[in-house]
Structure 1
């Protein structure tokens, strides 16, 4: 029997007996355990043997919930999206709503940097992702963007957020030594370059060094929102 044939319906998945740790397996429990293990071990956590040991069950039991570890990774990706969507409350102000959602998405991914590096590029097609796509398009269409513009802005907004999340997460998962070196490079190298050979760096070093010590995402998000607002002024129908 193939792995796909072993996956059973949600209602039939519940174990009749608790695991060795006294818990009853569920898709949510497996996803949360996987997310925790990824935070501790990175991609190495995505093995049925390690997950089975953490859950106190036979590794083969996991195939009743997920066809393979890639499907499990997609569920983890969707769980991260779900955590953001559960805490986001739209207000009706499209620009404020997208700002709040983008910043929240970025922060939620950085709270799980190991998982972010594994999931930011994935399309899950699962419940929470579908809800997020519907919600963002709803914000844009409700603001008056024509459908083609709404889709284009949605695409840029989401890809920008996920790209910065992956970039910033990749820094957080560096070793302490590597991260310390990254931090030191700007003041120790760039701030000391002479104006004779590097006039532009030298002239801006006082601003450049502190700027590069933080994420560029908030500023990039504001640029996208400003561009979208300007575009809305061109495409929104005006009253005669």
Structure 2
């Protein structure tokens, strides 16, 4: 997509597409997510999106000025889905844990999109709501503002880094993913106790643990560290 600006009042396309659907921002995002899941980054083109939607590709400019704007909308949608149904409990540790796991899970549900979007800052409605909620959890949990900001930064970066890494692994072609997993058996499982005593001693545990994401445990480590930083509370 090239840079174009369409006035807000002119964005809505009321005439149905060839598939009988009325074009909307959400329909474009949902279609883009489906195409990215099937074809990766190459799916983010007006030609491919237009064909999938049954609409003239130029109609997409009424909603997104370029493909980067669409990518930011996709990223914001994933953040929004992470927050669907989330309810604050009032316990800062529980609420941070739930938020982190939800963010990670949302990106794993769309791994190809996560690889493209996990590191972007959208400035859109779902992201700003998430920032507000996480900062609220920390400030209302008794963390002074300078510390709340530092914790927020580390918390979000940890969640997104694991989300991107795990999504990248999940997005590998099946043959490559199976080959990576086989390395644990074909290489690490055959290392000698004489040359690699620690690996040999705990190999079954290591191989089993490496099958899953390290994020849940890393999150608990972070929450424990955050607890230690929390100032004593009156009462």
TM-score range, shorter chain: over 0.9
1:121–1:77 CA distance, 2 compared to 1 (3 A): same
**Taking structure 1 as the reference length, what is the TM-score of the superposition?**
0.94
Aligned twin of 1:222: 220
- Work out the number of aligned pairs and report it: 234
- The answer on whether the counterparts of 2:192 and 2:200 sit within 8 Å (CA) in structure 1 is yes
CA distance in 2, matches of 1:230, 1:16: 56
Instruction: State the superposition RMSD in angstroms.
Output: 1.3
**SS in structure 1 of the partner of residue 84 of structure 2:** helix
Q: Kindly provide the CA deviation profile for residues 60-109 of structure 1, in whole angstroms up to 9, marking residues without a partner as x.
A: 11111111000000000000001111222111111011111111111111
- The answer on whether the counterparts of 2:14 and 2:23 sit within 8 Å (CA) in structure 1 is no
Aligned twin of 1:15: 13
Q: CA deviation at 1:211?
A: 1.0
Runs of 4+ displaced beyond 4 Å: none
- The answer on whether the counterparts of 1:191 and 1:205 sit within 8 Å (CA) in structure 2 is yes
Q: Which moved more, 1:131-140 or 1:168-177?
A: 168-177
Q: CA deviation at 1:237?
A: 5.4
- The answer on whether the counterparts of 2:11 and 2:62 sit within 8 Å (CA) in structure 1 is yes
State how 1:7-156 maps to structure 2 within 5 Å: 7-9=6-8, 11-156=9-154
- The answer on whether the counterparts of 1:106 and 1:164 sit within 8 Å (CA) in structure 2 is yes
Name structure 2 gaps, 5 residues minimum: none
CA distance in 1, matches of 2:119, 2:217: 22
CA distance in 1, matches of 2:3, 2:226: 46
Q: Kindly provide the CA deviation profile for residues 193-215 of structure 1, in whole angstroms up to 9, marking residues without a partner as x.
A: 11111111112212111111111
CA distance in 1, matches of 2:154, 2:14: 47
- The answer on whether the counterparts of 1:145 and 1:236 sit within 8 Å (CA) in structure 2 is no
- The answer on whether the counterparts of 1:8 and 1:65 sit within 8 Å (CA) in structure 2 is no
CA distance in 1, matches of 2:226, 2:233: 15
- The answer on whether the counterparts of 1:14 and 1:24 sit within 8 Å (CA) in structure 2 is no
CA distance in 2, matches of 1:99, 1:42: 30
